[in-house]
Structure formats: structure tokens, C-alpha cells
């Protein structure tokens, strides 16, 4: 029986069988068994056989990628006193906080007496046998020009260019400098762990494939469900389960952008932030459904900051809602975000839209807008704002972002669902905040 079968048998064993197994072990075997990754790691977390040069692990969040990378590095270091290992992350902070000091980092795994010492002043780990690892930032490609290594672990390579609106020269330069220095020892190898994103560096590795010495392992968040809180699993399924973002971030599927789409996922990722400055204006935009059993009612909250940059703050859209329900959702969003304006598309009956919204909240600061152009034509100047760095997303809005990435020039929509209702509401809100009189003609109800 192999190690995986042995672990499965132990998991299913009753207490007497488990005690019997442990009694058969010598003290040395017992001490080693509890740290043996070949026993505890899943098959997909163990290095593949064969003559590979790069092991690309592209899996969902929570799969265990960090533990996998750290255990692989530990195995190389303990087996080879001459090992010189590069640890590369998007920043030095992430290299230290995740790869070295994190819950699954190198200082937390393996037998305590064989763990390395971290010399933070020189960004170096030293194992008791003499093996060493060095920390690098992909944001400083020149730091990888010159140093030689026998092994490397690159973490979250798909985000090495996060925050750069144009081009990926930094990630590619860091990668190329690392590869050119990977020349020590008889068998230099590299492990790259990442959540999949359609960025050039990931695409390059996939294109090289086995012919280029690249071996791919895919995996899902749910592969590691037994080690994750049940509440987390349930929340992820509810929030992201049927979205393209969920397929990417949870199931580890690489979602490639539509060629020519007004928005790309890389563009949206580069515009994402976690802290939001004070807002000088907040608007709620609503794209009402034609019927209670048709498309969603798009309800999106956007604000304008002191820095004159717009933020998408919330997606409050509702599915298959009656007029009373979606109108109440609009009123609740306006109250929760202290909106100074509600912008509602009125092409589906302006008087009805106004009446329904007034019934939900008579004091709503309402403005009706009539679309004289198609959805994608209205979206094009808003997409240009993203390209110029003038719009950011204060959080993750998977369904809205899926729709934005489905808007094509010329009026075609190729995203999920029949209509981009969330995207249309977002466009109305950002037009109100950022494009002023250049937006659509308006009817005032102040």
C-alpha cells in the first residue's frame, strides 16, 4: 500500500486500529511520520515524476498552493546542503509574510530541529545542513540579474504585475532574469504556484507546455474542503459559485478574455483596491427589468473620491424581482450609502419607473435618463476611464465584472445572461459621476 492509501486507511481507522499502528512505529519513525509530506499531502500537492523543468501549479484559492510550494522547497533544502533557492513573490513583504512566516510558510513546516533560521537583514533562510534560500521581489527584476540558484519557488506569478495598467514587462523581466540564473547543480528546477489569471506570463508557460519542460497541475478550492471551514466553503459557493470569477478563483480555471472586449480582467484587477477615501458624491444607478420574471434589476452604487477618482462601491442587484422588491432594494441602497442621487434608466416606461421608486421612498433624489444609444456605445467612454486609471473597484463584484468583460464594441454582448443589466447600471452611475453633460440627455425630477 502506498502512502496515500495508508493515510486513507488511517483516516477511516477506529481508535484501536490507530493505536495499534502507532505502537508499531519506532520513536524515530514516529517522529518522522508526523512531518512526512508524502503521507499528509494530497497526490496533487506532491511533485510529479519525470524530467520537468518548471512545475506550474494553477489552482483555486485555499487549494494548498503555499503549503505545496513550501514543502517542495523544504525537501530540496534538506536533501541538498548545496541548494541555493530563490523565493520570489510580487513584493518582499509577501515573500516574507506568506512564503516564510505564514501559517504554511517555511518556518512553520517540517521537523522543528531541521527548520531554517531566517536572517531578515539579508533576506536569507539558512537550514542546519547549510542549504540557503533568498527572498526576491518580482517588482525589482534587476535584483534577479546576477544571482545564481539551483531551485526556485515563485508564488502567485499571475499577480506579479498587479497595479500596472499597461504592459507586463516587469513580470516577464523578473521571470527571464530568474531563469537565466537558474544554473547551479545538476538538475535546476522551478515551482510556480498561482491562482489562474489570463496574463502573458501564465500564457507563456502554458504555451511552452511539456515540450518546454513545463508540467501543469490544476486544482480547486474544494479539493481541500476537509481542511477549510464549512462556513467558508458554503459562502464561496453562494457568492461565486455560478460566476466566471468563481470558475477562475475557486475552480482554478483560466478564463481568457474575449478578444476586443471593452474590459479585460487584467484591467479590472489593476483597478482593484481595498481602502476607500472619503466620497464627495455617491450615486445609485438602476437598470429596471422589463418584467418581474425576466432579467435582473441592475443596481450599482458608485462614488467620487476627493482624488477625483470614481469607485464602484457595491452591486445591490436583485434577480427576478417584482417592481416593489427592486424599488425597495434601490431605496435601501440609497439610504445605506447616503446617496445624493438615484439615476434610473426610463426606456421601459419612465412614468412607471418613477411611480414605483416614489412608492418605495417618496424622498428619493431621483433622476430619470433615457438611452439614445446602445449599451456598448454608452459603455465605451466609461471603459476609457478605466484605461486612464480614473475608476477603481472597492472590492470584488463577480457578476458585474463578468458582464463588463462581455461588452464588445459595435453593440454585441457576449457575457453571461441575456442582458448586461449590472454593467448597464454601472455605466449609468459612472457616466453621472465622471462624464457630466457629456452623458445621455436627462429628465429631472428634483
Is pLDDT of 386 > 90? yes
User: What are the tens digits of pLDDT across the range 417-434?
Assistant: 888 999 999 999 999 999
The whole-chain average pLDDT of the chain stands at 86
CA torsion angle for 12, 14, 17, 22 (degrees, to 10)? Answer: 80
Let me know whether 156 and 280 are in one domain.
no
- 348: domain CATH number? 3.30.420.280
Mean pLDDT of 8-22: 62
Per-residue pLDDT tens over the stretch 238-264: 777 767 777 878 888 777 778 889 998
* Partner residues linked to 185 by β-bridges: none
Does 350 lie in the same domain as 291? yes
Kindly state whether residue 57 falls inside one of the protein's structural domains. Answer: yes
Domain count for the chain: 2
**pLDDT at residue 440 in the model:** 42
The burial class, CB within 10 Å (0-12 / 13-18 / 19+), for 89 is buried
Q: Is residue 247 part of a domain?
A: no
- Asked whether residue 7 carries a pLDDT value surpassing 60, the answer given is no
pLDDT band with cut points at 50, 70 and 90 for residue 159: confident
- Do 275 and 147 lie in one domain? The reply is no
**pLDDT of 107-138, one tens digit each?**
999 999 999 999 999 999 999 999 999 999 99
In a domain, 11, yes or no: no
Domain holding 54: CATH number?
A: 3.40.50.300
Q: Give the pLDDT score at 37.
A: 81
Within this chain, do residues 220 and 280 fall inside the same structural domain, yes or no? no
Predicted local confidence at residue 233, as pLDDT: 87
Select from 205, 241, 227, 252 the least CA-distant residue to 104.
227
One domain for residues 213 and 312? no
Q: Dump pLDDT digits (tens) for 397-408.
A: 988 998 999 998
pLDDT of 57-75, one tens digit each? 999 888 999 999 999 999 9
**364 contacts: CB under 8 Å, gap ≥ 6:** 330, 331, 334, 342, 357, 358
Q: Which residue has the higher pLDDT, 388 or 33?
A: 388
* Residue 34 pLDDT class (50, 70, 90 cuts): confident
Q: What is the C-alpha separation between 90 and 102, in angstroms, rounded? A: 15
213 and 102 share one domain: yes
Residues 280 and 190 occupy one common structural domain: no
pLDDT reading at 162 higher than 60? no
Flag whether 127 is in a domain: yes
Average pLDDT over residues 16-29: 69
* 284, part of any domain: yes
Task: Decide if pLDDT at 198 tops 50.
Answer: yes
Q: Are the C-beta atoms of 55 and 48 separated by less than 8 Å? A: yes
Is residue 215 located within the same domain as residue 270? no
Angstrom distance (rounded) from CA 155 to CA 65: 9
Judgement on whether residues 113 and 234 belong to the same structural domain of the protein: yes
Q: How confident is the model at residue 1 (pLDDT cuts 50, 70, 90)?
A: very low
311 vs 370, residue with greater confidence: 311
Rounded Cα–Cα distance for residues 393 and 285 (Å)? 16
Domain membership of residue 108 (yes or no) is yes
Residue 5 clears pLDDT 70, i.e. is over it? no
- Alpha-carbon distance of 219 to 237, in angstroms, equals 16
Give the list of residues 6+ apart from residue 256 with CB closer than 8 angstroms, or none: 198
Structural domain contains residue 210: yes
CB-based contacts of 89: which residues, under 8 Å, 6+ apart?
95, 98, 99, 135, 136, 137, 138, 154, 155, 156
Q: Are residues 285 and 216 in the same domain?
A: no
- Say if residue 363 is in the same domain as residue 224: no
CA 380/CA 344 separation, integer angstroms: 19
Q: What pLDDT is stored for residue 128 in this prediction?
A: 97
Residue-range definition of the domain harbouring residue 385: 265-444
| Domain-embedded: residue 29 | no
Percent of the chain with pLDDT over 70: 86
Q: Give strand ranges (E) for 140-266.
A: 151-155, 189-194, 214-219
| Domain identity same for 228 and 352 | no
Greatest Cα-to-Cα distance within the chain, rounded to the nearest angstrom: 83
Amino acid at each position: 500500500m502506498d502512502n496515500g492509501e495508508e493515510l486513507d486507511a488511517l483516516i477511516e481507522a477506529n481508535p484501536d486500529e490507530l493505536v495499534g499502528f502507532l505502537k508499531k512505529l519506532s520513536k524515530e519513525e514516529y517522529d518522522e511520520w508526523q512531518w512526512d509530506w508524502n503521507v499528509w499531502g494530497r497526490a496533487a500537492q506532491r511533485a510529479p515524476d519525470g524530467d520537468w523543468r518548471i512545475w506550474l501549479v494553477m489552482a483555486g484559492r485555499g487549494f494548498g498552493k503555499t503549503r505545496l510550494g513550501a514543502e517542495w522547497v523544504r525537501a530540496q533544502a534538506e536533501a541538498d546542503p548545496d541548494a541555493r533557492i530563490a523565493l520570489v513573490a510580487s513584493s518582499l513583504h509577501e515573500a516574507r509574510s506568506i512564503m516564510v512566516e505564514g501559517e504554511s510558510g517555511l518556518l512553520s513546516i517540517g521537523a522543528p530541529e531541521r527548520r531554517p533560521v531566517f536572517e531578515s537583514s539579508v533576506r536569507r533562510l539558512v537550514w542546519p545542513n547549510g542549504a540557503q534560500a533568498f527572498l526576491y521581489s518580482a517588482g525589482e527584476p534587476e535584483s534577479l540579474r546576477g544571482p545564481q540558484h539551483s531551485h526556485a519557488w515563485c508564488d502567485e506569478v499571475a499577480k506579479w504585475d498587479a497595479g500596472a495598467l499597461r504592459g507586463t514587462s516587469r513580470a516577464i523581466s523578473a521571470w527571464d532574469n530568474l531563469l537565466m540564473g537558474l544554473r547551479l547543480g545538476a538538475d535546476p528546477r522551478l515551482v510556480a504556484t498561482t491562482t489562474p489569471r489570463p496574463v502573458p506570463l501564465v500564457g507563456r508557460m502554458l504555451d511552452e507546455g511539456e515540450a518546454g519542460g513545463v508540467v501543469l497541475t490544476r486544482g480547486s478550492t474544494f479539493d481541500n474542503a476537509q481542511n477549510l471551514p464549512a462556513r467558508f466553503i458554503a459562502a464561496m459557493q453562494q457568492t461565486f459559485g455560478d460566476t466566471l470569477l468563481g470558475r477562475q478563483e475557486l475552480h482554478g480555471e483560466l478564463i481568457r478574455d474575449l478578444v476586443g472586449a471593452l474590459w479585460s480582467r487584467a484591467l479590472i484587477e489593476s483597478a482593484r483596491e481595498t481602502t476607500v477615501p472619503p466620497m464627495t458624491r455617491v450615486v445609485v444607478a438602476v437598470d429596471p427589468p422589463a418584467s418581474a420574471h425576466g432579467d435582473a434589476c441592475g443596481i450599482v452604487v458608485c462614488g467620487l473620491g476627493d482624488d477625483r477618482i470614481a469607485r464602484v462601491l457595491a452591486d445591490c442587484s436583485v434577480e427576478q424581482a417584482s417592481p416593489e422588491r427592486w424599488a425597495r432594494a434601490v431605496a435601501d441602497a440609497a439610504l445605506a450609502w447616503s446617496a445624493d442621487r438615484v439615476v434610473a434608466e426610463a426606456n421601459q416606461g419612465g412614468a412607471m419607473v418613477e411611480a414605483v421608486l416614489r412608492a418605495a421612498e417618496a424622498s428619493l433624489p431621483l433622476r430619470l435618463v433615457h438611452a439614445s444609444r446602445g449599451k456598448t456605445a454608452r459603455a465605451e467612454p466609461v471603459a476609457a476611464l478605466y484605461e486612464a486609471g480614473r475608476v477603481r473597484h472597492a472590492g470584488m463584484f463577480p457578476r458585474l465584472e463578468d458582464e463588463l468583460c462581455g461588452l464588445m464594441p459595435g453593440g454585441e454582448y457576449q457575457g453571461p445572461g441575456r442582458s448586461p443589466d449590472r454593467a448597464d447600471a454601472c455605466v449609468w452611475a459612472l457616466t453621472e459621476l465622471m462624464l457630466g453633460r457629456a452623458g445621455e440627455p436627462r429628465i429631472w425630477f428634483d
